[in-house]
Structure 1
């Protein structure tokens, strides 16, 4: 069992329950240390008094804040403990915000939130169900590890999670860290091709389909060197450098590779007149060509994967296809084929 990170009370109005925090994430991979090249001598770091050069024990170390170029204020643990009376063991909910209203850049660390005892189970389940039904998350504050944190509490994987957030003055603006992005005109033609590319690569989030290849290879390298063997991997295609000169050609080529066939530009938007039959000759010809296209029997749709159904829905121009489940996609495609 993972050790508890924090224990306290989750409070909202007159409702309160004892909760515990557990870290929801951990990094995996081999433990790496530093050595002096050509030897087996470990490189270690020591805490020493810079004036005397003597080692300093943890009990003799206190914190200090710089207030001038060469002046510090020493802060004892008792000084810090009195900064937030009443809040050091309380996660106080101050409001509820839409679950998708906080952008990823604000998120810091993730924790699982657990009720401390049986008596807290019912209010815990009640809050979890209410947040799921309303599509909102709780905004709260708490003190942990000598700092006050802004926290989002919400349902995930059947339990409550708590995500600590950065404070507004800790979030950088793009202009603070990167040069301005040059203005560029985006044509409807290029935008249509880009939309086709997005739709062609649309898929559901499945974390099990992703793997940390670098860590896997690092572990293989360590095991191979330990056994006196060498590991070689096929050379990978170098990353492209510079900018794409002709955006349209690049999008067409990418679409062709993704679809395994001919990439076509999006059809021009029809005017109201042509939609009503004002240009019936051209429209009829195009429509007749489409009808001649051989569609798979409706019964064959049952054996298709969601990605195959999504590709078919794209060819049939089914609206809202990227947000449909597999069952909805099958029904929509079946309806279009039968029309």
Structure 2
């Protein structure tokens, strides 16, 4: 069983609910080491001075914040400690809000909150209160000397905690280039066929249906090479400049292609097998 990465309490008014924080995400990123090409020996990175190129030992390195080009304010570890959030074992609920009010752009990383055996009743009370009210809890807590904003929400029989970005970390669309240039308003006919395309592609969300195809291909490549197989890279295909196409024609062709795919004999057989199951 996975070990908790943190333990503490959810503060819900005057109610404290002891919980354990578990990772909800498996990191499946592929990590490569740098090797010397001729003999495969591992490359170690050294920290060197940008002025004289001399290697600098860890004990001689301090933290500096750049306030202007090549101008730094040096901050000691003791000074940083003095402003570090006070260590706390409490997830302090500050507000209950409607989930639809939180733009998904704010979500960062998710965890499971598992109750201690003695707090099961209070845990279930909070979970069912959020389900009944259709609201989620906005809270703050400290993890590894950093303060986080978070949202607690019911997830079946479990409360899930997701850390959020703070508002000043989000780039506003207003800071991007003009999105309203030119005549971009769709016609009624274009919107109608676009809605048909959306409808033809509509389905229930099934996360297990989607795979990281690149990661799977890289792992297969590594497996084959480890077993001594020679892998030949395919010839590179030059990207052709995108053609300007008629929007309406493209929409109609898309709807037609999807209808044809759905009525193909192979697809019908697959659906028949799924229905039998």
| TM-score bracket for the superposition, by shorter chain length | 0.7 to 0.9
Contact 2:22 2:112 in 1 (8 A): yes
RMSD of Structure 2 on Structure 1 (CA): 3.3
Between Structure 1 and Structure 2, the one with more strand by share is 2
Q: State how far apart, in whole Å, the 1-side matches of 2:236 and 2:71 are.
A: 52
Name which structure has the greater RCO, CA cutoff 8 Å, separation 6+: 2
Q: TM-score, normalised by structure 1?
A: 0.67
Structure 1 counterpart of 2:98: 98
Cα 1:7–1:186 shift into 2, 3 Å:
same
Offset of 1:26 from its aligned partner?
2.0
Offset of 1:44 from its aligned partner?
1.8
- SS of 1:204 mapped into structure 2: coil
Pairing of 1:138-153 with structure 2 (within 5 A): 138-153=137-152
Cα 1:112–1:244 shift into 2, 3 Å:
farther
Cα 1:107–1:135 shift into 2, 3 Å:
same
Pairing of 1:162-311 with structure 2 (within 5 A): 162-178=161-177, 180-183=179-182, 184-231=184-231, 241-242=241-242, 244-260=244-260
- Which runs of 5 or more residues in structure 1 are unaligned? 262-303, 309-339
Structure 1 counterpart of 2:77: 76
Q: TM-score, normalised by structure 2?
A: 0.80
Tell me, yes or no, if structure 1 residue 125 matches structure 2 residue 127.
no
Q: State how far apart, in whole Å, the 2-side matches of 1:170 and 1:92 are.
A: 21
Cα 1:74–1:15 shift into 2, 3 Å:
same
Offset of 1:126 from its aligned partner?
1.1
Aligned residues: 261
Cα 1:186–1:243 shift into 2, 3 Å:
farther
Contact 1:10 1:92 in 2 (8 A): yes
Q: State how far apart, in whole Å, the 2-side matches of 1:18 and 1:71 are.
A: 44
Larger radius of gyration between Structure 1 and Structure 2: 1
- Which runs of 5 or more residues in structure 2 are unaligned? 262-270
Cα 1:92–1:62 shift into 2, 3 Å:
farther
Contact 2:46 2:55 in 1 (8 A): no
